[in-house]
Amino acid sequence: MAILRTTTIFMTTTDEALEDVADLLRPQSLAAGQLLFARGDPGDCMYIVVKGRVRVHDGERVLNDLWAGAVVGEMAILDDAGRVASVTAIEPTQLLRLDEAPFQALMDAQPEIGFAIINVLCQYLRARLRDMAQDFVYLQHIGRMTAAAAALENNSYDPASIASIHRGPGRTL
């Protein structure tokens, strides 16, 4: 039960609810290099990393590495969509598996667990939106620099147009 307290989903859950969750968990072990699940696989359970390390990836692109106390696959037990990424053990790893059907029944009986998952997913979403906003601003800057460079290369650069390049479309200084 101590490992459950370290997870973002269950850290604020009551001891009674944690005992109910613990009763539903099944141990699973992975060897280094062993695939836990692949992108597109059915999402019928979630896992808690107890010991070791897993890598979340999309093909060769590494999305994240997760250690003890991390939860993986929690989105999949809330909807019927397949896995959004693959997960592979990068060292010998021990996990706890929580299957969807008993977990759904537990959330019906103890809504605080469902709210905890919603909170975690909101944190993930907020972080992704913040990252996307920063990427968007960066790409806008690159676009303006590219437009200025193209104007210089084509000898169509007008110093008065630099304001419109810096402003961007639809903005005034």
Residue 172: the pLDDT is 47
- 148 in a structural domain: no
Residues above pLDDT 90, as percent of the chain:
49
- 161 in a structural domain: no
pLDDT tens digits for 130-154? 989 998 888 988 888 888 888 888 8
**Global confidence as pTM:** 0.74
Q: Output the domain CATH number for residue 69.
A: 2.60.120.10
- 151 in a structural domain: no
Domain tally, the chain: 1
- 139 in a structural domain: no
- 144 in a structural domain: no
pLDDT tens digits for 53-73? 999 999 999 999 999 999 999
- 84 in a structural domain: yes
Range of the domain at 30: 2-110
- 136 in a structural domain: no
- 135 in a structural domain: no
| CA–CA separation, 43 and 63 (whole Å) | 18
Residue 72 near residue 46, CB atoms below 8 Å: yes
Q: Which structure tokens are listed for 166?
A: 């810096």
CB-based contacts of 44, cutoff 8 Å, min separation 6: 76, 77, 99, 100
